[in-house]
Chains A and B, each alone.
Chain A
Amino acid sequence: AQSVTQPDIHITVSEGASLELRCNYSYGATPYLFWYVQSPGQGLQLLLKYFSGDTLVQGIKGFEAEFKRSQSSFNLRKPSVHWSDAAEYFCAVLVSPGYSTLTFGKGTMLLVSP
């Protein structure tokens, strides 16, 4: 079965510093991968997605992610974190291209220190 692992439950980053959130997946075929962000009391907002092609994908709010098949990873990065980036981040994989069903990781809570 497909699974997604986000090894870090919490991460604290200083404002202006770079960020990398880790995501590892287990999937038999070429995965469809996503990163979502959730602010307190809100729903999920899609940051970026990978379907195929270029392994470095750009998203909204200055985020990017790199797909590495050899490492089964899809890590999220941002060169300079802003205080407004504090939120919970979820990595997800599509169960099957024929469905809209997503399997999510447990999430990483990002705290931004001044």
Chain B
Amino acid sequence: KAGVTQTPRYLIKTRGQQVTLSCSPISGHRSVSWYQQTPGQGLQFLFEYFSETQRNKGNFPGRFSGRQFSNSRSEMNVSTLELGDSALYLCASSLVSGGRGEQYFGPGTRLTVT
């Protein structure tokens, strides 16, 4: 079974631009979560989607948004990029939402904002 895939793997954008990142979960998984990883802040939760509904949201500004499609694929969008948005963005999928749903992480998208 294919793992979690994220596209693109690397991205360079300029301040003020917007960006869309994509995550394809493992086949059959309905929950997708997004995390931002930076050297200073570590791994921080962005949002979780389950069956096309946002179930939980982290403490990020409204510039960060996401959505999930009927095939469980998810996208996250960051508008008006800032230098501080440079990070590794990881998505994780699980069969179900909640504690017993083991989460599988993708390789991440490395976003650099210049």
Interface positions of A (Cβ within 8 A of B) = 32, 36, 41-46, 49, 51, 90, 92, 94-95, 97-107
Contacts and interface: CB of A to CB of B under 8 A. Distances in A.
Contacts of B100: 51
B43 A104 contact: yes
Contact of B108 (A43, A46, A103, A106): A43
B94 to A, nearest CB: 6
Contacts of A41: 107
A99 B98 contact: yes
A36 to B, nearest CB: 8
A104 B94 CA distance: 17
A43 B106 contact: yes
A24 to B, nearest CB: 15
A97 B99 contact: yes
26 contacts: A36-B105, A41-B107, A43-B90, A43-B105, A43-B106, A43-B107, A44-B90, A46-B103, A49-B102, A51-B99, A94-B99, A98-B98, A99-B56, A100-B31, A100-B56, A100-B94, A100-B98, A101-B33, A101-B45, A102-B33, A102-B35, A102-B45, A102-B103, A103-B45, A104-B35, A104-B44
B16 interface: no
B81 interface: no
B26 to A, nearest CB: 13
Contacts of A98: 97-99
